[in-house]
């Protein structure tokens, strides 16, 4: 939707502000963290806790707190991890994760149980192997993988006054003074927002689930046209303004004749 954005300026140059490490901030899968037992889905509290042998970083909700230690960056939608867009850092840790993630003994034997395949596999590994958590970061869905209306429910829109900027600033103020943000109406703002917002000029849109009762081609065409309109040059905007003005005057003259 926004071809002029670079990933560096949009995301990577400020990972501290654009990501979060603590899955409890937005946890549709109800994964236990810090882990206790195996964090199965749903959790099994009677299983022995991990705390006997986990190091401090793995037990911490925020890992080591350093954004530069993030090796896997994943968005979360209304149902959990979403791999429509995700990023990995080239590292020994990533090689180890990919080897486990795609191991035929691990992955292929569960393909009948895991409806979403590699997505379910990653959720399972995150839930049951705490060593990966300290290098995993999460990014709001709209930042890199916004959905159209109809995917993950209906678009709730933006707050009527001030948009996302105002509501997030108010949330930050309440957190600083130790008050709850539960009463705020975030709508599609913050980590739980998933639907594309034209006013916010979201980076891209993913036609998730369009083959199930929606028109894939129609949605792609409409968003392509919207992207072209939003990214017009100054000359194109002036030219379109003259064309639209002339068309309005022509219609007015036609009405007067009638």
- Averaged pLDDT score across all residues of the chain: 87
For residue 202, being part of any structural domain is answered with no
For residue 30, being part of any structural domain is answered with yes
Question: Which pLDDT tens digit goes with each residue over 154-186?
Answer: 999 999 888 899 999 999 999 999 998 988 999
Q: Provide DSSP, the chain.
A: --TT--HHHHTGGGHHHH-B--GGGS-TT---SS--TT--SS--TTSPPSTTT--HHHHSTTTTS-GGG--EEEEEETTEE--SS-EE--SHHHHHHHHHHT-HHHHGGGTTT-TTTHHHHHHHHHHH-GGGGGGEEEEEHHHH-BBPTBTTB------TTTHHHHHHHHHHHHHHTT---TT---TT-GGG--B--GGGT-S-B--TTTTTTS-HHHHHHHHHHHHHHHT--HHHHHHHHHHHHHHHHHHHHHHHH-
For residue 102, being part of any structural domain is answered with yes
For residue 110, being part of any structural domain is answered with yes
Question: Which pLDDT tens digit goes with each residue over 91-137?
Answer: 999 999 999 888 777 767 777 777 778 888 899 889 888 889 999 99
Domain total for the chain? 1
- 0.75 cut: is pTM over it? yes
For residue 111, being part of any structural domain is answered with yes
For residue 122, being part of any structural domain is answered with yes
For residue 40, being part of any structural domain is answered with yes
Query: 120 is in which domain, residue-wise?
Result: 1-141
For residue 180, being part of any structural domain is answered with no
């Amino acid at each position: 939707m926004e071809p002029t954005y670079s990933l560096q300026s949009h995301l990577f140059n400020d990972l501290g502000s654009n990501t979060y490490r603590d899955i409890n901030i937005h946890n549709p899968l109800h994964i236990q963290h810090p882990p206790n037992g195996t964090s199965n889905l749903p959790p099994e509290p009677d299983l022995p806790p991990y705390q006997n042998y986990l190091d401090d970083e793995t037990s911490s909700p925020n890992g080591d707190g350093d954004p530069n230690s993030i090796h896997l960056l994943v968005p979360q939608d209304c149902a959990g991890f979403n791999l429509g867009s995700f990023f990995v850092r080239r590292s020994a840790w990533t090689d180890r994760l990919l080897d486990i993630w795609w191991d035929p003994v691990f992955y292929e034997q569960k393909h009948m149980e895991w409806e979403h395949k590699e997505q379910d596999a990653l959720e399972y590994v995150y839930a049951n192997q705490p060593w990966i958590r300290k290098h995993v970061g999460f990014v709001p869905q709209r930042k890199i993988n916004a959905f159209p209306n109809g995917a993950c429910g209906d678009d709730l829109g933006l707050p009527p006054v001030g948009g996302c900027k105002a509501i997030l600033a108010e949330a930050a103020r309440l957190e600083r003074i130790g008050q709850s943000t539960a009463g705020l109406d975030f709508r599609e703002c913050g980590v739980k927002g998933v639907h594309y917002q034209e006013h916010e000029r979201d980076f891209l849109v993913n036609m998730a689930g369009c083959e199930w009762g929606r028109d894939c081609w129609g949605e792609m065409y409409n968003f392509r046209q919207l992207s072209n309109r939003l990214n017009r040059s100054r000359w194109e905007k002036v030219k379109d303004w003259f064309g639209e003005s002339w068309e309005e005057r022509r219609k007015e003259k036609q009405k007067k004749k009638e």
